[in-house]
Chain A
Amino acid sequence: MISLLPVLVAGLLGSGVLADDDVDCASGRREAIVRVDRSGEVDPETGRDALNYPPHRDADFLHMTLRLVIPDMNVAEMTAEQTLRFEAIGTPLERLTLDAKVLDVESIRCDLAETAWTYDGRAITITFDPPLPTGEPATLITTYTVNDPPDGLIWTLADDAWPGRPAQIHTQGQPETNSYWFPCHDFPHERLTTELIVTVPSGFLVSSNGHLAEHSVDDSRGDASQETFHWVQDKAHPNYLVTLIVGKFDVVDIGSPALPMPVYVPPGRGPDVEGTYGRTAEMISLYEGLFDEPYPWDRYAQLLVWNFGSGGMENTSATTLYDTAVLDEQALIDQSIEGLIAHELGHQWFGDLMTCRSWEHIWLNEGFATYLELLWMEHLDGEDGYQAEAMANFRAVIDRDEARAPDVPGMVSKVYEHPWDVFDRAADPYAKGASILHMLRRKLGDEVFFRSVAAYIDRFKEQSVETNDLRKVMEEVSGEALAQFFDQWCLRPGVPHLDVDIDWNDGASTLDVVVTQTQPIDGYNPAYVFDLPIWIKESGRAREAVMHVDARTTRATFQLEAEPSIVAIDPDLNVLAELSIDQPVDRWYAQLEAGPTLTSRVQAARELGGHDAEATLRRLVSVAHDERMHDMVREEAMRSLAALGASGRLFGLLREGIADHQVRRACIEQLARALEEDEDVPAPEARDAFDTIAAHAERDESQLVRAAAIRAIATLSLIDRRSIVIEATRTDSQHDRLRRAGLEALATLDAADGLDIAIDLAGPGHYSRTRATAIETIAALAHHAPNRAYDSVAPLLRDRDRRVWGAAAEALVEMGDPRGVEALDAFAESVRDPIQKEAIGERRDRLAEKVEG
């Protein structure tokens, strides 16, 4: 899964995680909901082990057939009959527990035994008399009703406020939410084949996993009023990847007869499919080639749905994406979403074909999918494209991840409150996972790395995997010992912080390098061990050296013929570390212009932000101006110029004109930052700069640049330019980018007249992300008209879209209106799902505390 706005999902809900009792007294892991403090490894109160262990597998599930009947797409209710084929594991099965959240269960029967069952709204417990034997598959038939579930299945009804938008259903199973619409063992270590037979009113399309085995029109009433779609996924996959989508779409197939690749987009957007998704087939061949494994499924569908909770979700053979993930020609000049497309496609191997066995191993899904984005960029833009992505991932990790075991969990850790927490921890399975795979590639070499990943796939396809599985295969193929590598990067949190002192000793003609690890070092966090590459250029000749670092302080001396002109530390990103390098500024100048890699040039541009000198400014401007330079170096140079307070230089660059949209955007952002921080800019000069920014906000050809300029107006508090901002909130753009930038700017500017605009945009008839932004703006501006703000937000608690009611609940806390407590209480009372109830209760408590405090 890729999340666009993690805050919306993560942290929203709280759950009592269930205690995993020791075996046979455990009539089931779900017998009692026990509230356990899982913020650390041990609950301090009771001494209980607070780690999350996988549940037992009561049975081996073989196949599910799910028959669903949806009489009316505008009534959020469906009837279901589920046939589960399964087999006892090891010993005869007396009792089976299935996750099933807020379903209305009617009947359960089994072909091999009498059954008795109980249901507590969270799980069904079924007892068999006699116990089901091993080695003989049993069949369980469950009939039930799905009644507008609070999670897992998102049912968007048609709404007068948004004419022409038909009703739609999509599902979201990750991490453990498919049990809101079918009973299952809702944990990723179980795999089964699935089959969905779905009857819907005519005119709606149904998509699920695998291939469409049959499609029939029910003409029994002579009106062809119902259609039935029969989808079959005949390769086993985990329950959380089962998907169902019902809606009306433009469907454009960009595939071939051998591999259909339909893209389902909102009605009318068909013509934009090719421009946005046209390279999917090329990505598939790239990955098939790199990993020597054919694309695993019957088709590859990409479906855009309303009110999607994240960016994309990699259901087997049928990825779900957010509603605006299709770009028109205007938007394509700014950006592509190929990173997202590559990510979800990458999951079809990593995550789907091999699935993390429990959530702490999620990096085996997300780290790989993120890494496959890098590989796509490498395919497009070569080594620079690859390094640019790798650097971005490194930076994302370094900025968040702290070496503070055991107080913070590592990337692979059983410490988490809720399964979705593992997606959003500081030791980020996405960015850190991808960085670790990148480091492994550097460590093993390209050929051995890709061969070992191919071997990993061969060994584990259609299975669930743990981190050790990857390590063991890589050790086998490469001969390297990787246990320490995996321990320090995967299990432990943090990254090394390195002070690197580089001294030239002219008398001895030696280069002395001292590397000091400055992050906390103790028994839980011993010194990191790695080989640190050093690229040295002396008298026109380049050489590569390696320093083995394994202690707090490590020294090395290199005998050279002459003083080197460049000493680049780790120019290929072999080590995920924060580097702080001390060397003469002349070497940084040389490295900025002639560093061996993009990384080293960006590093120089960044370091020079701390060297205030005219020579530095001149060089940074020259690099920022140079269109032959990679965007990333140019942007980093601008960032350094801003850090050095060089607003005049940045304005000069902007005024001269920057053709590249991304660089232009960066220039505006950095110029705004420099102007904001520097109070000594002469008024006329500032005036000119403001005018130019405003001009970009009004009519730059790039929406990205416009949005950045609108934000700049806000950060610079240019309240008199707010007509531009207000105009933006009325302008359609890709992802509603301008409208949302405008809303955010109104909040920042604290513009009283923004409130009405925000209230309007918070209503139905707008994209859910826009609505959430509008609600945040209402909260920010509420002090201008508290009652009006409250009256507009409180009703939104009852909105069907969780992003909207989540934002509304958060806004009530933010606004601090005492009436909100009661509203949240009433809301909590009305919901059926205990997890949702708890999440709302948590908001309520925060608000109550604020009101009383």
Chain B
Amino acid sequence: MIRRRLTPVVCMLLLCASAQAQQDPRIDPDTGRATAHYPPARHFDHLHVRLDIDIPDMSKRRLTAVETLTLAAIGTARRDVRLNAVGLEIRSVEVGGRPQAFEHDGETLLVHLDEDRPPNVAFDLRIEYAGHFPYATGEGLTWTLGREDAPSLTDRSPQIHTQGQPQSNSKWFVCHDWPNEQLTSELLVTVDSDYQVCSNGRLLSSDTGPDGRTTWHWLQDKPHSTYLVVLVVGQFAVVGLGDANWRRPDLPLTVYAPVGFANTMAETFGNTGRMITHFEKLFDEPFPWDKYSQLVVRNFAAGAMENTSATTFNQGMTMGGDVDAVIAHELVHQWFGDLISYKTWADLWLGEGWATFGEALWAEHDAEPGQEREAYHRAIFSNLAASRMNTTYAPTYPGLVSNVYPNPDTNFYKANNPYSKGALVLHMLRMRLGDDVFFEGTRRFIDEYKFKPVETDDFRRTLEDVSGQSLERFFRQWVDQPGMPRVDVELAWDDEAGVLEVHAEQTQRIDADNPAYALAIPLYVTFDDEQGTYVYLPMETRTIDHSFELPARPTDVSVDPNLRVAAFTRVTKPLAMWIEELEHGSTIIARARAAEHLAPLDDESARSALAGVRGVSAFVDAIVDANAASSLDSQLAGIEGDDR
């Protein structure tokens, strides 16, 4: 899912507010209870859900449903079925025509079966229920009424869309509402014939009866997580993206656009086919589902949501900004998050990190020839920038992967962010393992775990098997440990000795819960008339002094121009080197970092160098403008000071 992006100011406020909370988040002090969230048991395997939904009147916000859940006990014979059913009116529960005793407290439906169900033997639980959806909360089922004065028919008519992530699908059907369960799904929805209905998988039929109402029959016959089941009902212009370039009748691509915006949307989503082709090749895995629909819906609470084969978009998300990034993000989810699902919300980054990393992969692929690396680097650098205010530390703050959270929603927003930090982790792994091994590992991961829920450890193990590298330390420091390394690097050239002296210090909080990072920081050293060369600064303690013998006086020493290490560096080196890096830095990241350093300087040569590169790169220009008044570091000094 893409959330609306928060502005930096809001983030900062959130961070400050939470930094003041000194209470240990891992425990409830009164009872001593752990606050960690562990997944619920899976006493039954949920094999299939069939929902017969009747919508008598789209303007009435009420529906009735007959749900058939195909279950099989796991492990041992069982009699009690515990299900989530939030705010639904349960009318009956039956097995084979026999009514079953049940308790429903408004949230949990506990069914006491009339006999033990042996393990691995499937049976159908038939549940009749009614739902009333007067409030459009953006969670579960959002039922928006028509707005009479709207220009588009789509907005003038009522519309339903659902949003299951993280645990909201139990607000419109009865389910095991946790991602550790995968099932196939089938929706039969009867509604006035004016409306289209879309759900996961493929459309088996849409038959109109004598009463003028149509029953839409959708089937997702590949197992997916409960939270990915989707229902959209509304009046749309359905546009096929299958133009002359798309020769795959087995994989229809459609956009559900607001009526009147069909052509615009077809254009907006025009790259979808190319993206699918690219990611299929990169992952060596065909697009997993029967179709790919992208639905632009009303009143959507988030940015976009990667339901299997049917992504929903916020209208606003499609109107401006880098829409391709959003499209690529949700598309990559169809593999990461949907095909490879994660077992718990702690492992969310395996979806969101990959989807965000996918934005960079698409930018890299889509760039003009010769610009690929720069495009990729820009995307990665922006993820680093998004983590700049991450001054969190253990145990007060949860790491990227942590089951300590107040509610699953907060996982999407936390400082050790599954999107931006997740993408950085994947980028670092790519740098560390090399493209061949990294993507080979990715492919093997998909092969091994498709249609199975994974944990972060599974990903590590696959990468270890493919590379031979021991990655536990990497995962501990980047994935488990909160925060980001901040490294001051002082570079000094000793002309007499022919030695580059490097003093480096990690300045983030280091204590018994927060060890120093183990880093190998690349320094790209360039000379007057030679090719540049890399040397590596190995660092696993708070401070380090290291000297490198060099053949000549370097013109520049560029610290980690490829962002091999997602660290915030503060480099001390001669002004001439900064100017050299601004003008001739080997990557856009090097040039951007030089611009960041030079922009606030009150120095004529700096100003003139900056003026000299003005207009060469909009990306660099923006950084210069943002830093002209004062350095970002000094803007953030107040926050960081708290944590040192």
Contact = CB atoms under 8 A, between A and B. Distances in A.
Nearest to B23: A523
B516 A56 contact: no
B75 A25 contact: no
Interface string B451-482: 00001010001001011111011101100000
Most buried by A among B24, B32, B434, B436: B32
B41 interface: yes
A49 B33 contact: no
Contact of B519 (A22, A57, A466): A22
B15 interface: no
B473 A90 contact: no
B468 A47 contact: no
B31 A551 contact: yes
Nearest to A190: B468
Given A21-B538, A47-B542, A526-B32, 18 more contacts: A40-B512, A41-B513, A41-B515, A42-B514, A43-B541, A56-B468, A56-B469, A60-B468, A90-B437, A90-B466, A91-B434, A406-B512, A447-B76, A479-B43, A479-B74, A480-B75, A521-B32, A526-B35
A19 B540 contact: yes
Contacts of A733: none
Contacts of A487: 36
B540 A58 contact: no
A484 B515 CA distance: 25
A551 B41 contact: no
Contacts of A49: 473, 476-477, 515-516, 518, 540
A54 interface: yes
A44 interface: yes
A141 interface: no
B309 to A, nearest CB: 27
B26 A523 contact: yes
Interface string B348-367: 00000000000000000000
A46 B518 contact: no
B538 A25 contact: yes
B540 A523 contact: no
A47 B519 CA distance: 13
Contacts of B511: 42, 47
B510 interface: yes
A481 B540 contact: no
Contacts of B432: 23-24
B41 to A, nearest CB: 4
B470 A53 contact: yes
Interface in A35-69: 40-44, 46-51, 53-60
Contacts of B542: 46-47
Q: When A and B form their complex, which 3 residue pairs have the shortest distance between CB atoms, in order from nearest?
A: A479-B74, A89-B468, A523-B24
A560 B518 CA distance: 61
Contacts of B540: 19, 21-22, 48-49
A58 B468 contact: yes
A47 B506 contact: yes
Contacts of A47: 506, 510-511, 515-516, 541-542
Contacts of B344: 483
B466 to A, nearest CB: 6
A90 B467 contact: yes
B512 A42 contact: yes
A521 B75 contact: no
Contacts of B27: 521-523, 526
Contacts of A20: 470, 473, 518
A25 B516 CA distance: 17
B224 to A, nearest CB: 18
Contacts of A21: 518, 520, 538, 540
B468 A22 contact: no
B433 interface: yes
Given A479-B43, A527-B34, A91 B436 contact: yes
A51 B476 contact: yes
B42 interface: yes
A53 B472 CA distance: 7
Interface string B418-458: 00000000000000111011001000000000000001010
B44 interface: yes
Nearest to B461: A466
Given A20-B518, A42-B515, A90-B468, A48 B541 contact: yes
A481 B38 contact: yes
Contacts of B516: 46-49
A632 B34 CA distance: 37
Given A24-B536, A444-B75, A527-B32, A468 B455 contact: yes
Interface in B534-557: 536-538, 540-543
Contact of B31 (A42, A50, A527): A527
Given A25-B536, A523-B24, A526-B32, A59 B468 contact: yes
Interface string B88-119: 00000000000000000000000000000000
Interface of B: 24-27, 31-36, 38-45, 73-76, 180, 344, 395, 403, 432-434, 436-437, 440, 455, 457, 461, 464, 466-470, 472-474, 476-477, 506, 510-516, 518-520, 536-538, 540-543
A26 B539 CA distance: 11
Contacts of B476: 49, 51
Interface string A225-268: 00000000000000000000000000000000000000000000
B76 A44 contact: no
B468 A517 contact: no
Interface in A439-485: 444-445, 447-448, 466, 468, 472, 475, 477-481, 483-484
A22 B521 CA distance: 9
Contacts of A484: 34, 36, 38
Given A22-B519, A47-B542, A478 B437 contact: no
A517 B32 contact: yes
21 contacts: A20-B518, A23-B520, A24-B536, A25-B520, A25-B536, A26-B520, A44-B512, A47-B516, A56-B470, A60-B468, A90-B433, A91-B434, A91-B437, A468-B457, A484-B36, A487-B36, A523-B25, A523-B27, A526-B33, A526-B36, A552-B31
A698 to B, nearest CB: 57
A50 B515 contact: yes
Contacts of B515: 41-43, 47-50
A661 B432 CA distance: 64
B448 to A, nearest CB: 12
A57 B32 contact: no
A550 interface: yes
A483 B39 contact: yes
Nearest to A19: B540
Contacts of B468: 56-60, 89-90
Contact of A550 (B33, B403, B541): B33
A523 B33 CA distance: 9
Contacts of B40: 481
Contacts of B472: 53-54, 414
Contacts of B75: 444, 448, 477-480
B394 to A, nearest CB: 10
A43 B540 CA distance: 11
A43 B514 CA distance: 11
Contact of A89 (B461, B467, B506): B467
Given A25-B520, A41-B512, A46-B516, A552 B434 contact: no
A481 B470 CA distance: 28
A529 interface: yes
A21 B518 CA distance: 7
A595 to B, nearest CB: 28
A572 to B, nearest CB: 18
B395 A523 contact: yes
Interface string A166-192: 000000000000000000000000000
B612 to A, nearest CB: 35
Contacts of B34: 484, 526-527, 529
A447 B118 CA distance: 13
A55 B471 CA distance: 9
Contacts of B512: 40-42, 44, 406
